[in-house]
Every structure is written in structure tokens, then in C-alpha cells.
């Protein structure tokens, strides 16, 4: 039975993805609620039925009192036995059945699936964002919002059906019940409903923004705490634990202040509600007693009216809290469904097609990207890389090398110009298909907190065990992998590497990253300081591996150690975002330009980032390492 209701909605069913969510709350929720429409209608109807049953029981209790007072006890069963048995059957069998179906719809069909659907789709939407989008926020804060939104949205739905739909049905039914007893009994109820509605409106208008502020404050706390934990090595190294504590204290104090403001609203609400409920009880019960003393109402009417207003008085606080929780949850959802920035940095192009990369020809035309600033950045830039050509990118820090790579990978959307790969504008193809055709090894190897096997297979999940081990051997990683063991006793390729690979040395992380790219075997290869974390011996061993990797591929390599790219087909020198020189190593040396000066100024094979005064003449002979 549980499984029947739990499977009424599949939260993982296919759906049309969006690069950015709607900017308004209702369209956002409407998209998530669409698979639940039939279940929501059924739940609303059963919530109304539950309220009607409760009211009928109060009404029937008054009728039962009148029946008992007007009937000889000896004749009660003879005259009303069948009726009493039917009522007992209804209370014992039908009422639990209706209540049970309503509970199954709400607790089993809606709540688990609705939160799961939101979390699944929100996570998918976040993963579709650009790298630049993530760079503008804390990863912990983004994750916190993704985690906060589903339970808050679930709470809102729960309150909508368990409390609000029930309350509306109950108050409407109460008014009808009092009207049938005596229309004048509705007057105190109406005099209570109006200020009660005003109080609800007053609280609702303030609780949403207050809840959004509290949610934002909690996200800031989470972001600061996660930031400290993620960079715990730096915190310990510089002995800044107290500084991080103070940094978190400011955010925690702000969270306390926002929560205090939120709780003040509930205190005001409780005091006002107690006063209004007293007026309701005295008004309805007093009026019913007066009607009875005048012979205009029976004892059963007085009893039913008293039970009704006492029940309504007890419910009013619950209804108010439910409505407040409903809008408070919507406030959290409002804050959570748009982790800043609110929109993707990519333009909406719904007709993107998969890329078809075979040769790996890269054409860059009029490319400009200044990170929304007027100066700096990259471009305008024109560059063509023929299929299978190996190109080295050289330039001082800030020259635009990494920006160019990020634009080719579409980690950022170019502000102007186009990038074509095999004649296809990369903006017209899906990001996944574009990146499937590009293998990249950066200077900071990014590993997942999973096993070594899973990290290497990230390059090609369908690869065999033999292919994975072969890639690890090529990357000079197989031997040290066999000696790994984590805290859970997993060994070798099953050992977990820790968050971002912290359990491994920089060189070990880099070699696993190399194995991953070797396994991927993409037609375009980008190397961004691929051997920067390796010692000289390991680098020498891997250089031959890199040579094998580059065979038949279009290669773009960035290196401060110029000896690693001296054998490239071409070397492109960037300066202030533009191409200053372009040609083979020997030709650029003969030109005596910036590349020749950078080559001459190397010490131990590394690039001098700043000009050296008084040494602008002819390049000196290259250092021993560079001359290899």
C-alpha cells in the first residue's frame, strides 16, 4: 500500500531543462508542481472531506444530546439503535479510511517526492551553470540553498493541504453549521473572522521577508564555515583559527538578530490571537445561552455551538502558525531558488546540437572578453590552429592565456567574437558535447572525494579495467596507486583520495589527472602547466607520455617553463590580451622580441614575470635546462 502511493509520481522522470529558472516565485513552483497536479487535487478534496467530517461530528453530538434528552432511556435503542450503529460504523471504519487516504497522499505521495524532485532538478540546473557563475559565490552557500529549498517547499505544500485547505473548509462549514442552528450565531463569528483575517495579513506580509532574511543569514554562516573548513590547511598554517572564529561570529550574530525579529512577529501574533479568541468564545457561547434561556435554541444547539467555538479557538493558533509557516517556507524558497547570480551567464539557445569534432581545427575570430570591464582581459584576438598542430601559449601573468582556454571550453561566454571548432560555432553546440571533444590537464588537479578508480574513469566511464590501468601506467601513477590505503581500509584503486584529493601529494594528484585525460583520448588536448606539480624526475618520465598523448591531436599548451613547449609547432606570445608574436621557437629567438627576452631571463627554466631593468638587449644564452 505504501509503495502504491509512493510511486504515484516519479521525481526523476524526464523533463525539459532550463538554463535559468523563472524570476517570479509562482512560475518557478508551477513548473515543479506540474507532475503532482492530479495528486494535489485529490489531496485537496480529501482535506475538505476531513474538515466536513469533523464538523459533522460536532453537529451530530448536539443532535445526540437533543435526542437523548427527548427520549425515554428505555426506548433509545429501540428507536435510534440502527442510527447509532451506522454512526459507529462510519466513525470506526469509513472515517479512518478517509483520514488514512488523505495522510497517504500527503505524507507518502507528495512530501518525499516533491522535495526529491526539487532537489534533483535544482542540482541539475546548478550543474548547467558556467564556471564563472560558481566563481561569484561560495560553493557551501550554493549547496546550502539547494538543500534548504526542497524541505521548505515541501513544508509549504504540507501546510497548504494539511492546514490551510482544512482551515478554509472548517471555517466555511462552521459558519454554515451556526447558520442552520440560528443565523444570529454567525454574528460573533463574522466579528471574529474580520480582525483574524487582518492579523493573518499583517503577519504574512512581514513573515515572508523576515524568513528570507533569516535564510540568507543562515546561508552566509554556512558559506563562511564551509570556506574555513575547505581551506583548513591555510587556517592552521597561518594560525588564524581565532580570526576565522570572529569572521563566523559576525555572520552568526546576524543570523541571531534576524531570527529575533522573526520571533517578535509570533509573540505579537500570540497575544493578539488570545484576546480575539476570548471574544469569540464569549460571543458565541453567551449568545447561544441567551437563545436557550429565551426558548429559541435547544441544549444540543448550545452544546454544539460551544464545542465548535472551543475547537475553532484551539485551531486558530494552529491555523495562524500554519499560514505563517507556509509563507515563511515560501520566503526560504524565494531565496533558495535563485542562488546568486540569479541567471546563467550563458544566453538561452534552446536549439543547440551536439558537436561533431573529427579533425580538431580551431578558428578564433575577433574574440574579446574583458570580464565586463572596459580595460584588461583578452582581445581583440584572431588565431587559427590547424588540425593536429601543437601550439604553445606564452605570456606574463595576466596576459590572457587562461582566459583564452576558458573561452574555448565555454567556461565563460565570450563578450564578442566567435570560436569555431571544425567549422562549428561553439555557442551553437551543447556544452557537454563540446567538452567531450577536449581533454585538459590544469596546474591544479581537481579530484573528487571518491576512489582512485572513479577519478580516473571520470575521463571515460565506460572504459575497461585494463584500459584504466594502462592509462595509469602511462601517467607513471600505477606503482604509487597500489600502495595507497584510506582510513576505511580500501586499498589501491579502491582507496579514496579525500576532498579535492587532499590525501595525495601534488604530484600524485597531477598524475591521476593525467591518467584521466589519457583515458579520455579526446581529439583536442589542452595542457595548462600540466607538469608544474611534479619534481624533475617525474616530469622527465612523463614528458615522453605527454609526447605520446599529443600524437594526432590538436594541442594547446601553457607553460611558464619554456623548455616544455620549445618543441611545439608554433608558439603564440600573448601580451595584454593580444597576440604579440607567433612562430616556431627558433624563429622567435631570432626575432629578439618578447619571447626571446623571456627565454633569456629564465632561471632554472621558469618564466620571469616582471621586466628586469637594464636588460633589454639581445637575449643571453639559454640556461642549461632550457637548452635541452
CA count, 13 A, side-chain hemisphere, 138:
19
Helix %, strand %, coil % of the chain (to 5): 60, 10, 30
User: How far apart, in whole angstroms, are the C-alpha atoms of residue 299 and residue 22?
Assistant: 57
Cα-based distances in Å from 227 to 34, 234, 235, 241, 248: 37, 11, 10, 13, 10
Give mean pLDDT, residues 470-480.
90
Question: Cα-flanking dihedrals φ and ψ of residue 568, to 5°?
Answer: -65, 155
- Strands 424-425, 416-421: pairing is antiparallel
Query: Strands, DSSP E only, in 253-321?
Result: none
Rg of the chain over all Cα atoms, to the nearest angstrom? 35
Model confidence pLDDT, tens digit, residues 451-474 = 999 999 998 999 999 999 999 998
Place of cell 575547505: 230
Cα-based distances in Å from 556 to 147, 528, 572, 582, 589: 39, 8, 10, 13, 20
Question: Cα-flanking dihedrals φ and ψ of residue 369, to 5°?
Answer: -155, 115
Q: How far is CA 168 from the centre of its chain?
A: 34
Among the listed residues 205, 160, 161, 145, the one whose alpha carbon sits nearest the alpha carbon of residue 334: 145
Burial of 327 by CB count in 10 Å (0-12 exposed, 13-18 middle, 19+ buried)?
Answer: buried
Q: How far is CA 15 from the centre of its chain?
A: 17
User: How far apart, in whole angstroms, are the C-alpha atoms of residue 615 and residue 275?
Assistant: 87
Q: How far is CA 626 from the centre of its chain?
A: 47
Q: Helix or strand or coil: residue 571? A: strand
Q: So what's the pLDDT on residue 528?
A: 86
User: How far apart, in whole angstroms, are the C-alpha atoms of residue 245 and residue 20?
Assistant: 36
Q: So what's the pLDDT on residue 579?
A: 92
CB 253 within 8 Å of CB 260: no
User: How far apart, in whole angstroms, are the C-alpha atoms of residue 483 and residue 492?
Assistant: 6
Among the listed residues 262, 174, 184, 183, the one whose alpha carbon sits nearest the alpha carbon of residue 217: 262
CB 553 within 8 Å of CB 524: yes
Three cell numbers written together for 69 = 434528552
Among the listed residues 345, 344, 335, 341, the one whose alpha carbon sits nearest the alpha carbon of residue 147: 335
CB 90 within 8 Å of CB 205: no
Domains by residue range for the chain, with CATH: 15-336 (1.20.1560.10), 355-437+522-628 (3.40.50.300), 447-520 (3.40.50.300)
- Is the pLDDT reported for residue 575 higher than 60? yes
User: How far apart, in whole angstroms, are the C-alpha atoms of residue 225 and residue 334?
Assistant: 23
Give mean pLDDT, residues 550-554.
88
Give mean pLDDT, residues 341-347.
45
Higher pLDDT, 469 or 119: 469
CA-CA-CA-CA torsion for 373, 375, 380, 381, nearest 10 degrees? -90
User: How far apart, in whole angstroms, are the C-alpha atoms of residue 494 and residue 485?
Assistant: 8
Residue 136: CB partners within 8 Å, gap ≥ 6?
A: 340, 341
Q: Considering only 162-171, 253-262, 266-275, 339-348, which range has the smallest mean pLDDT?
A: 339-348
Confidence tier at 608 by pLDDT (50, 70, 90)? very low
Q: Helix or strand or coil: residue 138? A: coil
Predicted TM-score (pTM) of the model is 0.62
Among the listed residues 425, 392, 391, the one whose alpha carbon sits nearest the alpha carbon of residue 410: 425
Q: What is the secondary structure of 347-363 as a DSSP string?
A: PP-TT-B----SS--EE
Burial of 90 by CB count in 10 Å (0-12 exposed, 13-18 middle, 19+ buried)?
Answer: middle
Largest CA distance in the chain: 125
User: How far apart, in whole angstroms, are the C-alpha atoms of residue 544 and residue 468?
Assistant: 19
- Is the pLDDT reported for residue 397 higher than 70? yes
Among the listed residues 553, 267, 538, the one whose alpha carbon sits nearest the alpha carbon of residue 389: 553
Model confidence pLDDT, tens digit, residues 260-312 = 888 888 888 888 888 888 888 888 888 888 888 888 778 888 888 888 888 77
CB 488 within 8 Å of CB 480: no
Three cell numbers written together for 573 = 606570445
Angle between helix axes 139-159 and 111-127 (nearest 10 degrees) is: 150
Residue 380: CB partners within 8 Å, gap ≥ 6?
A: 366, 367, 368, 416, 417, 578
Three cell numbers written together for 215 = 535564510
Model confidence pLDDT, tens digit, residues 308-342 = 888 777 777 777 777 777 776 776 676 665 544 44
Give mean pLDDT, residues 493-504.
83
Burial of 349 by CB count in 10 Å (0-12 exposed, 13-18 middle, 19+ buried)?
Answer: exposed
Cα-based distances in Å from 7 to 31, 46, 103, 153, 409: 20, 19, 15, 20, 40
Confidence tier at 351 by pLDDT (50, 70, 90)? very low
Q: What are 583's strand-pairing partners?
A: 571
Q: Considering only 197-201, 318-322, 358-362, 604-608, which range has the smallest mean pLDDT?
A: 604-608
Q: Considering only 57-61, 544-548, 568-572, which range has the smallest mean pLDDT?
A: 544-548
- Is the pLDDT reported for residue 377 higher than 90? no
Q: What sign results for the dihedral spanned by CA atoms 603, 609, 612, 617?
A: positive
- Is the pLDDT reported for residue 13 higher than 90? no
H helix intervals, 136-240: 139-159, 165-181, 186-230, 232-237
Higher pLDDT, 143 or 424: 424
Question: Of 208-217, 297-306, 608-617, which one has max mean pLDDT?
Answer: 297-306
CB 305 within 8 Å of CB 185: yes
Three cell numbers written together for 63 = 443532535
* Cis amide linkage into residue 380, ω under 30° from 0: yes
Q: So what's the pLDDT on residue 417?
A: 92
Amino acid at each position: 500500500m505504501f509503495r502504491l502511493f509512493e510511486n504515484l509520481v516519479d521525481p526523476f522522470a524526464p523533463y525539459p531543462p532550463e538554463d535559468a529558472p523563472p524570476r517570479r516565485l509562482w512560475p518557478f513552483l508551477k513548473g515543479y508542481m506540474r507532475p503532482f497536479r492530479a495528486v494535489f487535487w485529490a489531496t485537496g478534496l480529501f482535506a475538505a472531506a476531513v474538515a466536513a467530517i469533523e464538523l459533522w461530528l460536532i453537529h451530530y453530538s448536539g443532535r445526540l444530546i437533543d435526542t437523548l434528552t427527548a427520549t425515554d432511556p428505555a426506548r433509545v435503542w429501540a428507536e435510534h439503535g440502527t442510527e447509532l450503529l451506522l454512526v459507529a460504523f462510519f466513525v470506526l471504519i469509513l472515517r479512518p479510511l478517509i483520514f488514512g487516504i488523505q495522510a497517504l497522499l500527503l505524507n507518502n505521495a507528495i512530501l518525499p517526492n516533491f522535495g526529491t524532485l526539487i532537489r534533483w532538478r535544482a542540482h541539475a540546473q546548478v550543474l548547467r551553470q558556467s564556471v564563472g557563475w560558481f566563481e561569484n559565490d561560495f560553493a557551501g552557500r550554493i549547496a546550502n540553498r539547494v538543500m534548504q529549498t526542497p524541505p521548505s517547499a515541501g513544508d509549504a505544500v504540507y501546510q497548504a493541504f494539511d492546514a490551510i485547505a482544512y482551515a478554509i473548509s472548517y471555517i466555511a462549514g462552521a459558519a454554515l453549521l451556526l447558520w442552520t442552528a440560528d443565523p444570529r450565531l454567525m454574528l460573533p463569528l463574522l466579528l471574529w473572522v474580520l480582525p483574524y483575517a487582518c492579523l493573518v495579513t499583517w503577519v504574512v506580509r512581514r513573515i515572508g521577508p523576515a524568513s528570507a532574511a533569516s535564510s540568507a543569514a543562515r546561508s552566509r554562516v554556512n558559506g563562511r564555515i564551509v570556506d574555513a573548513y575547505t581551506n583548513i590547511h591555510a587556517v592552521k598554517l597561518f594560525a588564524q583559527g581565532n580570526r576565522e572564529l570572529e569572521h563566523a561570529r559576525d555572520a552568526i550574530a546576524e543570523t541571531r538578530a534576524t531570527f529575533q525579529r522573526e520571533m517578535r512577529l509570533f509573540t505579537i501574533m500570540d497575544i493578539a490571537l488570545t484576546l480575539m479568541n476570548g471574544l469569540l468564545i464569549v460571543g458565541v457561547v453567551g449568545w447561544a445561552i441567551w437563545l436557550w434561556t429565551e426558548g429559541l435554541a435547544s441544549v444540543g444547539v448550545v452544546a454544539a455551538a460551544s464545542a465548535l467555538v472551543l475547537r475553532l479557538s484551539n485551531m486558530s493558533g494552529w491555523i495562524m502558525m500554519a499560514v505563517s509557516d507556509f509563507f515563511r517556507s515560501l520566503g526560504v524558497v524565494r531565496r533558495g531558488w535563485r542562488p546568486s547570480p540569479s541567471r546563467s551567464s550563458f544566453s538561452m539557445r534552446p536549439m543547440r546540437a551536439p558537436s561533431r569534432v573529427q579533425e580538431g581545427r580551431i578558428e578564433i575570430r575577433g574574440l574579446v572578453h574583458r570580464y565586463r570591464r572596459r580595460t584588461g582581459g583578452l582581445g581583440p584576438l584572431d588565431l587559427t590552429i590547424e588540425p593536429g598542430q601543437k601550439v604553445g601559449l606564452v605570456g606574463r601573468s595576466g596576459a590572457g592565456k587562461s582566459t583564452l582556454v576558458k573561452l574555448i571550453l565555454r567556461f565563460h561566454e565570450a563578450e564578442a567574437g566567435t570560436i569555431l571548432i571544425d567549422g562549428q560555432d561553439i555557442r551553437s553546440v551543447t556544452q557537454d558535447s563540446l567538452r567531450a571533444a577536449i581533454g585538459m590537464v590544469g596546474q591544479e588537479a581537481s579530484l573528487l572525494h571518491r576512489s582512485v578508480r572513479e577519478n580516473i574513469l571520470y575521463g571515460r566511464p565506460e572504459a575497461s579495467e585494463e584500459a584504466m590501468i594502462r592509462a595509469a601506467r602511462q601517467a607513471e601513477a600505477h606503482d604509487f596507486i597500489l600502495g595507497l590505503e584510506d582510513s576505511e581500509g580500501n586499498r589501491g584503486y579502491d582507496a579514496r583520495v579525500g576532498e579535492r584529493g587532499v590525501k595525495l601529494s601534488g604530484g600524485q594528484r597531477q598524475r591521476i589527472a593525467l591518467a584521466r585525460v589519457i583515458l579520455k583520448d579526446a581529439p583536442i588536448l589542452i595542457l595548462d602547466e600540466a607538469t608544474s606539480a611534479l619534481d624533475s624526475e617525474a616530469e622527465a618520465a612523463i614528458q615522453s607520455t605527454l609526447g605520446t598523448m599529443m600524437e594526432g591531436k590538436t594541442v594547446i599548451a601553457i607553460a611558464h617553463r619554456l623548455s616544455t613547449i620549445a618543441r611545439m609547432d608554433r608558439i603564440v606570445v600573448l601580451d595584454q590580451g593580444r597576440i604579440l608574436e607567433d612562430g616556431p621557437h627558433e624563429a622567435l629567438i631570432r626575432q629578439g622580441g618578447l619571447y626571446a627576452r623571456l627565454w633569456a631571463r629564465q632561471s632554472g627554466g621558469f618564466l620571469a614575470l616582471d621586466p628586469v631593468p637594464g636588460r633589454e638587449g639581445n637575449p643571453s644564452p639559454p640556461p642549461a635546462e632550457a637548452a635541452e
